């Protein structure tokens, strides 16, 4: 069973390595190019405007900054880059799960996989585990590699200007803290996204033509129909019924932010001056709630339905 599950997860990796590997690497390359390009552009503009002395003085002034301010700067840099990776991961998992069972039927490969001694439950669960663990770990690894590369590049730049990178980069910036914040972020994202994952797998299994339309418009039509019926019966006229779905979606999309409902509107925010330790604490507090259990039960129900449907649906 374990070997079979491992083989199926490896299969998912090879079939989607573009989204799992190439996408985060391309993001990293773009960020590196922008960072180096921004530095070179700044030097060229300073040279053309005759502001070299001012630019050098500004760079050297950074050595006089308070160590806490430098540490805060690197904390925010790590959270900004990792939040970008988590946002991309969210959308990658959305479309991966949306086509996870539909694509097998579309290209008829389901007939081959059903000829093997592999249960439908094992196949479906392997896709869920890929989204929950394999892809997030790959994104975490690429993020850490990118962070180290950026720190090395900035160290070379500082050495070029005669500054100490240990004092300005490697001392204040903690790789352990960066790894901790994105690992906890992926955990929070995974737990809050569980009901969405279950719904996407179910949509992929039941849809005959357009799983995206089914996954998006079916809940939207149900929600707005229910809202419209309640307006006609004068039971309520606010949007409170959308509070819980938006809460799950908010924490899954922006795990670092504090998703909250205020005045019947959903808000995302990361407080100014927050540190990695505070952010990690807030994220861990967010999963210590009964909503996580409800979401897991919701996901279990729809994953079970997807397994049941796969037993009877071999083609689109």
**Least reliable range by pLDDT among 18-22, 82-86, 207-211, 274-278:** 274-278
Question: Is the torsion defined by CA of 215, 291, 227, 240 positive or negative?
Answer: negative
Which pLDDT value is given to residue 273? 44
- Among 205, 179, 236, smallest CA distance to 123 is for 205
- Distance (Å, rounded) from C-alpha 244 to C-alpha 292? 11
For residue 267, the cross-strand partners are 260
Cβ atoms 192, 285 nearer than 8 A: no
Q: What's the domain range around 217? A: 2-310
Task: Kindly tell me if the per-residue pLDDT of 242 is higher than 70.
Answer: no
182 falls within a domain = yes
176 falls within a domain = yes
Q: Categorize the per-residue pLDDT at 266 as very low, low, confident or very high, splitting at 50, 70 and 90.
A: very low
Task: Kindly tell me if the per-residue pLDDT of 262 is higher than 70.
Answer: no
- Distance (Å, rounded) from C-alpha 294 to C-alpha 258? 20
Q: What is the dihedral of CA 13, 18, 24, 27, to 10 degrees?
A: 180
Task: Kindly tell me if the per-residue pLDDT of 268 is higher than 50.
Answer: no
315 falls within a domain = no
Higher pLDDT: 199 or 233? It is 199
As for how many domains the chain has, the answer is 1
DSSP for 81-128, written as a single string = HHHHHHHHHHHHHHHHHHTTTHHHHHTTHHHHHHTSS--HHHHHHHHH
- Distance (Å, rounded) from C-alpha 249 to C-alpha 189? 9
Which pLDDT value is given to residue 152? 93
Higher pLDDT: 149 or 74? It is 149
- Among 206, 140, 184, 215, smallest CA distance to 285 is for 184
Which pLDDT value is given to residue 255? 83
| Rounded alpha-carbon distances, angstroms, from residue 268 to 61, 173, 271 | 34, 26, 10
149 falls within a domain = yes
Task: Round the average pLDDT of the chain to a whole number and report it.
Answer: 82
316 falls within a domain = no
18-46 in b/e form (b: 16+ CB < 10 A) is ebbbebbeebbeeeeeeeeeeeeeeeeeb
- Residue reference for tokens 């005045």: 263
Q: Categorize the per-residue pLDDT at 274 as very low, low, confident or very high, splitting at 50, 70 and 90.
A: low
Q: Is residue 157 within a helix (H) or strand (E), and if so which, with residue range? A: helix 135-160
pTM of the model: 0.85
Which pLDDT value is given to residue 51? 58
247-286 in b/e form (b: 16+ CB < 10 A) is bbbbbbbbbbbbbebeeeebeeebeeebbbeebbebbeeb
Token pair in block for residue 281: 């604490």
Largest CA distance in the chain: 74
Which pLDDT value is given to residue 56? 63
Contacts of 166 (CB under 8 A, 6+ apart): none
Strand 265-267 and strand 260-262: pairing?
antiparallel
Which pLDDT value is given to residue 298? 94
């Amino acid at each position: 069973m374990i070997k079979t599950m491992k083989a199926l997860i490896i299969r998912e990796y090879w079939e989607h390595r573009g989204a799992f590997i190439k996408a985060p690497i391309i993001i990293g390359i773009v960020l590196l190019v922008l960072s180096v390009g921004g530095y070179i552009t700044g030097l060229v503009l300073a040279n053309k405007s005759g502001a070299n002395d001012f630019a050098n003085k500004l760079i050297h002034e950074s050595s006089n900054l308070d160590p806490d301010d430098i540490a805060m700067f690197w904390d925010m840099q790590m959270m900004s880059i990792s939040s970008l990776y988590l946002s991309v991961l969210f959308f990658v998992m959305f479309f991966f799960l949306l086509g996870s069972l539909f694509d097998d039927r579309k290209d008829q490969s389901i007939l081959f996989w059903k000829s093997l001694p592999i249960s439908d439950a094992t196949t479906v669960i392997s896709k869920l585990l890929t989204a929950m663990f394999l892809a997030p770990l790959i994104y975490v690894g690429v993020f850490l590699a990118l962070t180290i590369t950026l720190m090395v590049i900035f160290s070379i730049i500082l050495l070029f200007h005669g500054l100490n990178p240990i004092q300005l980069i490697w001392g204040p910036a903690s790789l352990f803290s960066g790894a901790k914040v994105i690992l906890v972020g992926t955990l929070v994202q995974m737990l809050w996204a569980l009901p969405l994952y279950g719904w996407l797998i179910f949509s992929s299994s039941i849809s005959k033509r357009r799983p995206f339309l089914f996954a998006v418009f079916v809940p939207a039509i149900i929600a707005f129909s229910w809202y419209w019926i309640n307006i006609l019966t004068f039971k309520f006229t606010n949007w409170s019924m959308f509070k819980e779905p938006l809460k799950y979606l908010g924490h899954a999309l922006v795990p670092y932010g504090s998703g909250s409902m205020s005045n019947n509107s959903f808000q995302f925010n990361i407080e100014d001056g927050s540190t990695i330790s505070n952010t990690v604490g807030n994220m861990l507090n967010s999963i210590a709630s009964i909503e996580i259990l409800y979401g897991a039960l919701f996901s279990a129900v729809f994953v079970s339905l997807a397994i049941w449907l796969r037993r009877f649906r071999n083609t689109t």
